[in-house]
Structure 1
Amino acid sequence: MIQKMVLRGGGQHGGGSAIRRTRISFAVLTALGMALTTGVHAQSLETQAATGTAAPTESTVINLINLLVKRGVLTQQNANDLISQAQAEAAQAKAAAARPPVPLVAHAPTQPGDVAVPYVPQVVRDQIRDQVKQEVVAQAKAENWAQPNTFPDWVSRIKIDGDLRLRDQFDFYSPRNVTGLTNFAAVNQMGGFDFSGNSGNAAPPSINTTTNRSNLFSIRARLGVTAQVAEGLSTGIQLASGNDNDPVSTTQFLGGGFDKKNIWLNKAYISYTPTSWLNLIGGRFDNPFFSSDLVFDPDLEFDGFAANFRHALPVAADVTLFGTLGAFPVQYSDDNFPSNSPVKAGSDTKWLFAGQFGAEWKINETNRLKGAIAYYDFQNTRGSLSSPCALFLGATSCSTDNDAPDFMQKGNTLIALRNIVDNPNLAPGTTPQPQLFGLAYNYRLFDAKLEWDTKLMDRYKLRLDGEFVRNLSFDANQALHAPATPVNNFNTASANVSESDYRSGGNGYMFKVTLGEPDLVEKGQWNFSIAYKYLQPDAVLDAFTDSDFHLGGTNAKGYVIGAQYAVARDAWVSARYLSAREVYGPPLVIDVLQLELNARF
């Protein structure tokens, strides 16, 4: 049965705008016109047979075409072509034999703006749809709307990210600071230094404590690639800048005669998520623990393996439990040690075994509380005095040289590692003493951290951070009565020191307040923060803590003030002022100002 369908006009919006948004080719409109002409002609014959009146068979098509021109779908030229074709089809139809009349069911327009459109058979509509689809796909390919199967499948599973930081730094030293502090890290890196003064050597390497440094321009550049290998299995690689292989900094100073800058492998890992609540990762990767820069520098990457879990409590959906277990090799002993002996020393790998357990509670829409306790067990870090070492007989090393850390900053209590035998052919006290230095303690850390996010006046985000750390292995008496006694952390700069001058401790803590958006993303976001830090000499390993506060290491206390503002999406400027001084020992005040421009993608 052929029927008429009523289209609501809807003015210049609604259906008209929908039609204008569709790209319909001339060929498609021609097909539509032919279909409508055929339908109109059939209806015209039926009406004429039923009523005995003659109406122009092409009138409905012409009205429809004129309406499409009026709505902006067709140009006048295309409309004229379609009208000509409709008239020709109508003339051919009039010459055909009339069919028996068929009852009509018509729905006349009932409202101003309604349009009567003849019914189009399903088969014709399917043909029009298929033709439109083919032409749209062809046009999309031609105009680069979509290119199916143009790229291999692996491209869709690759993600590239990175960031760049430009920094101008100023280091300020108090004129009252002590001078001549030995740089023990540099001593170890040069393979030892003769402190006897009988080898014609100059003074040992020392730390700058009095000369300000201004406009230290630097960059930090990082570029990473993450690939989804299979469902639940991914891998990642990141390259980063850096002056050297320092584990706590990717800063690269500019200058140096415009020489090329270094690029290091900063991350390389494989991650596997067998279930929604468990993730396993191995290689070199970001810090997997919930912690601050009190214990670990933000740039520190971990080598080893870790398992992270996170699971919401079924009885309290607002509470989520999380935790981490990990094993991390910190330093391997030299497998060819000692090099001048056929008998090699056994392995004495320094390890970090760590575990953390915590919970996050979403109290309401504006309050969130997150806390965790952790245990970090650094094994085999403590150095020991070697067996008698006759370097004068040609030995190139002593039995405990492997106890010297690969990397140190400053602050931890140190001991001499070599028990050097005097040369009997020399006067007493004149035998060279090229020494290496190791740590006086093991470091088994208990750490507790708490973070509260809320809003101030229901408008400004506010974050409160607190952390406490305690080295459970710290024992000053143990260090003082060991075969090798401490060589630093005395309350005087004099060379004549006694046990009563030794000062150290195993505690540290931090408080921080951040007002504004903690992590800037959108343009116009900002934050302001102020923090206080207190870190006794042997609270944590000085190698891995914040490299900016007091210019790295432990035995420091003071405050940090910072502000950030997002100048564009994922781009922000920041300023930080870090003021720190010694906890124990002779005066050492160091202030640092950092001005930065950051961008990420």
Structure 2
Amino acid sequence: MKNLVLAATVTAALSTTSMGAHAASSNELAQIREQLEALMQRVDKLEQENVALEAENESLKAADEKLQANAEYLKSEARGLRKETAQQAMEVGKVKGADWASKVAISGDLRYRYEMISDETLNGGVQTADRYRDRVRARLNATVKATDNITVGIGFATTENGDPRSSNQSLTGSFSRKSIDLDTAYFGWKFASWGNLVGGKMKQPFVKPGQTLFWDNDVNPEGLAVGFQSGMLFGTAYNYWINEVSGPETSRTADTMLHGLQIGTRLPIGANTLMLAAHYYDLSAGQGRAPFYNGNSNGNSTDTLVSGTTSTSVLRYDFQVINLSAEFNALLGELPLQLWADVAQNQDPNDLDTAWAAGVLFGKASNYRTWEFGASYHLIEKDSLFGQLIDSDLGGGVTDTEGWMLRAGYAPVRNWALNATYILSKRNVDVPNGAGQTGVDYDRLQVDFNVKF
């Protein structure tokens, strides 16, 4: 089209030139023709360049469309990868969560207790009034499998002033908030198939027969213990701190400690089992000191130590206690039957140095609609056992006590039990109290609502 226009223009120019040839020379006409030819060549060149530019533009447009298509594809792929990564992260999180959950075990219990106490001890020359109270106990424990052979345990429990023999909280104080303290904090290292090392504040690692009251179940000792189990044999050795002492070199700074060893066996007798155990513990650096909670010797004999204007009641005797235990477990029909006995003697004093107990338990309140009945008798002479360790219920938790403990329990469903315990005991069996009384009646009724999880 551009060439046609240019040709028309040239023709017109030539016609004009012919008409005015009379006014122009032949040289001028030649120059005009040369200029026109040059102009046509230039126009042809421009047209060729334009065609090339159009082709290049089309190529660039195609490349741009391809780039846009690639960009959309990459965006789609990125979205897919993000979704897949998120799903994989969720799966990894689930695996990690499941792995963590498989290593942690949470357990605990809640107990609501009604309690009545009848104490015939004279109080200021007047008989002590009967006492009625409701109490709660809550405990929460976490056990973590840190490695294949190391376990860590941490537990918390309600408490009143950190009492080592009780996790009960009385319902009193105008709805005041109740305290929760560290109950256990320990590690367990299974260093061999037959052995385990435990360190920290732990549950009692040794075996106790039946419902013996020689050790309060709430006492969680502190220190190190090594246990072993091989076939029918078992045993425990421990080293516990009672009081850590510091001071000048001129003072007595030996720590009061409790060292002990138990060795036992479980013998099969047909379908039944007989457990026999020998236990020894020694209270070191305790004689002449006051390793007491709240300054109370819990019935053990004391002397008065005077230093300046201060007088302190300290232990009169050492405690080197030999303890022999037996427990027989059998089935009477489909119901479990347990017979047990416990005897201990302190080797330091020459008198009032023996404790013994025996009991029976028929049935077991644990599974759905199961029940139990039990009875036991305890006699704990004044210096037979270290008073800080004995159960806090019989006779109010002091030595020089004897009495019966009757108990019954029923489990409507698993992990829920109703229990009743009645304790008929006498305090100051051998040594009169401050009011000159001996054989003082001390009775206690406990009705419990227990839930475990």
Cα shift readout 1:526-580 (whole Å, capped 9, x = no counterpart): 1100000001000001111010111111110010000010021111000000011
Candidates 314, 319, 331, aligned match of 2:243: 331
How do residues 389-400 of structure 1 correspond to structure 2 at under 5 angstroms?
A: none
Equivalent residue letter for 1:511:
A
Equivalent residue letter for 1:515:
F
- Alpha-carbon offset, residue 406 of structure 1: 3.3
Relative distance call for 1:223 and 1:344 in structure 2 (3 A) is farther
Equivalent residue letter for 1:376:
Y
- Quote the Cα distance in structure 2 between the aligned partners of 1:151 and 1:547: 43
Equivalent residue letter for 1:210:
T
Tell which structure's C-alpha radius of gyration is larger. Answer: 2
Aligned to 2:254: 348
Cα shift readout 1:89-120 (whole Å, capped 9, x = no counterpart): xxxxxxxxxxxxxxxxxxxxxxxxxxxxxxxx
Aligned to 1:311: 230
- Alpha-carbon offset, residue 244 of structure 1: 1.4
Aligned to 1:450: 326
Aligned to 1:424: none
- Quote the Cα distance in structure 2 between the aligned partners of 1:286 and 1:473: 28
SS at the partner of 2:369?
A: coil
SS at the partner of 2:215?
A: coil
Relative distance call for 1:150 and 1:328 in structure 2 (3 A) is closer
Asked if 1 retains the 8 angstrom alpha-carbon contact of 2:280 and 2:320, the reply is: yes
Aligned to 1:47: none
Matched, 1:507 2:354: yes
SS at the partner of 1:301?
A: coil
- Quote the Cα distance in structure 1 between the aligned partners of 2:185 and 2:375: 34
Aligned to 1:411: 299
Relative distance call for 1:226 and 1:512 in structure 2 (3 A) is same
Candidates 312, 315, 325, aligned match of 1:439: 315
Aligned to 2:128: 210
How do residues 121-200 of structure 1 correspond to structure 2 at under 5 angstroms?
A: 148-149=94-95, 151=97, 153-174=99-120, 177-180=121-124
Equivalent residue letter for 1:211:
A
Asked if 2 retains the 8 angstrom alpha-carbon contact of 1:164 and 1:219, the reply is: yes
Q: Which runs of 5+ in 1 are unaligned?
A: 1-140, 182-207, 313-319, 338-342, 384-402, 421-432, 477-504
- Alpha-carbon offset, residue 346 of structure 1: 4.2
- Quote the Cα distance in structure 1 between the aligned partners of 2:134 and 2:401: 25
- Quote the Cα distance in structure 2 between the aligned partners of 1:173 and 1:149: 59
More strand by share: 2
The answer to which of 458-467 and 352-361 deviates more is: 458-467
Aligned to 1:75: none
Aligned to 1:298: 217
SS at the partner of 1:467?
A: strand
Candidates 171, 177, 186, aligned match of 1:254: 171
SS at the partner of 1:417?
A: strand
Cα shift readout 1:473-509 (whole Å, capped 9, x = no counterpart): 1135xxxxxxxxxxxxxxxxxxxxxxxxxxxx00000
Candidates 415, 420, 430, aligned match of 1:570: 415
Asked if 1 retains the 8 angstrom alpha-carbon contact of 2:256 and 2:291, the reply is: no
Aligned to 2:9: none
- Alpha-carbon offset, residue 344 of structure 1: 5.9
Relative distance call for 1:451 and 1:209 in structure 2 (3 A) is farther
Aligned to 1:127: none
Relative distance call for 1:439 and 1:577 in structure 2 (3 A) is same
Equivalent residue letter for 2:418:
V
Aligned to 1:228: 145
Asked if 2 retains the 8 angstrom alpha-carbon contact of 1:220 and 1:252, the reply is: yes
Relative distance call for 1:454 and 1:153 in structure 2 (3 A) is closer
Candidates 466, 490, 493, aligned match of 2:341: 466
- Alpha-carbon offset, residue 180 of structure 1: 4.8
- Alpha-carbon offset, residue 164 of structure 1: 0.7
Aligned to 1:516: 363
Matched, 1:286 2:215: no
Aligned to 1:595: 447
Equivalent residue letter for 2:107:
D
Cα shift readout 1:233-269 (whole Å, capped 9, x = no counterpart): 1100000001111111111111211011001101000
Relative distance call for 1:413 and 1:521 in structure 2 (3 A) is same
Matched, 1:533 2:378: yes
- Alpha-carbon offset, residue 275 of structure 1: 1.7
Aligned to 1:4: none
- Alpha-carbon offset, residue 347 of structure 1: 1.6
Asked if 2 retains the 8 angstrom alpha-carbon contact of 1:565 and 1:574, the reply is: yes
Aligned to 2:44: none
- Quote the Cα distance in structure 1 between the aligned partners of 2:197 and 2:99: 25
TM-score normalised according to structure 2 size: 0.74
Q: Which runs of 5+ in 2 are unaligned?
A: 1-86
- Alpha-carbon offset, residue 455 of structure 1: 2.2
Equivalent residue letter for 2:234:
F
- Alpha-carbon offset, residue 147 of structure 1: 8.7
- Alpha-carbon offset, residue 460 of structure 1: 2.5
Asked if 1 retains the 8 angstrom alpha-carbon contact of 2:292 and 2:388, the reply is: no
- Alpha-carbon offset, residue 450 of structure 1: 0.2
- Quote the Cα distance in structure 2 between the aligned partners of 1:455 and 1:248: 33
- Quote the Cα distance in structure 2 between the aligned partners of 1:147 and 1:566: 40
How do residues 24-35 of structure 1 correspond to structure 2 at under 5 angstroms?
A: none
Asked if 2 retains the 8 angstrom alpha-carbon contact of 1:278 and 1:307, the reply is: yes
Asked if 2 retains the 8 angstrom alpha-carbon contact of 1:451 and 1:464, the reply is: yes
SS at the partner of 2:359?
A: strand
How many residue pairs end up in the alignment?
355
SS at the partner of 1:473?
A: coil
- Alpha-carbon offset, residue 154 of structure 1: 2.4
SS at the partner of 1:372?
A: strand
Aligned to 1:381: 286
- Alpha-carbon offset, residue 345 of structure 1: 2.2
Cα shift readout 1:255-296 (whole Å, capped 9, x = no counterpart): 211011001101000101122211110001011111254321
Cα shift readout 1:163-192 (whole Å, capped 9, x = no counterpart): 111001000123xx44459xxxxxxxxxxx
SS at the partner of 1:268?
A: strand
- Alpha-carbon offset, residue 151 of structure 1: 1.9
- Quote the Cα distance in structure 2 between the aligned partners of 1:465 and 1:509: 11
Equivalent residue letter for 2:367:
E
Asked if 2 retains the 8 angstrom alpha-carbon contact of 1:331 and 1:406, the reply is: no
Asked if 2 retains the 8 angstrom alpha-carbon contact of 1:238 and 1:267, the reply is: yes
Cα shift readout 1:179-219 (whole Å, capped 9, x = no counterpart): 459xxxxxxxxxxxxxxxxxxxxxxxxxx9622102x1111
